[in-house]
Structure 1
Amino acid sequence: MAADPYELVAMLFEELRETLDLMIDSARRGDDARIFRYRAKALAILGGLDESLNFEVAGDLAQTLHVIYSEAAKRIQMDGADSRIERVESAREMIHEIEKAWTAIAPFR
């Protein structure tokens, strides 16, 4: 609970990436129950990241992140096992790029 806001967001990105990896692994194994559990967790984390955006301070950047988070959530939610893995992988890559940028600018580094 002593983590600063930058650290908390970094932790959310890490948890989201790990959850998406688990979702992809579950999809490869055909484990629908785990896919749905990891999907729910990933969507909750994305929702938390989106809710943390400060549009008054970050302006266009916050709006861009909102669009990216929404697109990632859309890709994660889409059904159809045939391309589920590819969609989740693309969402993971989108988020990973933001995570790398966040880590590079975070003051705790």
Structure 2
Amino acid sequence: MFDDSGFDAYKHTQLDARAASADPHHLVLMLIEGFLDELARVEGHIEAKQFDRKAKSIAKCLDILSGLDTALDREKGGQLAENLHQLYDFCGRRLFEVSVSNDLSGLEVIYKVMGDLKDGWENIAAS
């Protein structure tokens, strides 16, 4: 059908172009969207028992969470930044638990937390 490497290269180029022209708000939104996309891959890899791919996808998710957390200015951001830090940390710990157990039910709360954050960032953009 399609050459996955060519399609992946195309997607990566498109993502690079979007990121290069995005403001910080949109970059955060892009990271959250990327996280949710990769989380769906984790789910698919667990279902297919492709545990090597699951491990790579979980590592990507953890990298994205780390990037989101590192971008927080906890001095200027005050309680909001601290709350986001705690949410990212919670999702990372929960993701680790899912990785060890391969229990898909553990993904529900991660989807919920990150989906709510995505909705919040989208609402900020709209206002």
TM over 0.5: yes
Q: In structure 1, how many angstroms separate the alpha carbons of the residues matched to 2:63 and 2:111?
A: 15
Identical counterparts, % of pairs? 29
SS in 2 for 1:18: helix
CA RMSD of aligned residues (A): 1.3
1:19 aligns with 2:46: no
Q: CA deviation at 1:54?
A: 1.4
1:29 aligns with 2:48: yes
SS in 2 for 1:46: helix
1:8 aligns with 2:33: no
Instruction: Choose between structure 1 and 2 for higher RCO, CA contacts under 8 A separated by at least 6 residues.
Output: 1
* AA matched with 2:117: I
The aligned residue for residue 95 of structure 1 is 114
Deviations 1:43-93 (A, max 9, x none): 000000001111122210110110010000001111112x2x111232122
Structural mapping, 1:63-102, within 5 Å: 63-78=82-97, 79-81=100-102, 83=103, 85-102=104-121
Query: TM-score, normalised to structure 1's length?
Result: 0.91
Contact 1:24–1:89 (CA under 8 A) maintained in structure 2: no
* AA matched with 2:24: P
Report the structure number with the largest CA radius of gyration: 2
The count of corresponding residues between Structure 1 and Structure 2 is: 106
Structure 1 runs of 4+ with >4 Å offset: none
Query: TM-score, normalised to structure 2's length?
Result: 0.79
Q: In structure 2, how many angstroms separate the alpha carbons of the residues matched to 1:92 and 1:34?
A: 19
Q: In structure 2, how many angstroms separate the alpha carbons of the residues matched to 1:76 and 1:55?
A: 23
* AA matched with 1:70: D
Q: In structure 1, how many angstroms separate the alpha carbons of the residues matched to 2:110 and 2:60?
A: 14
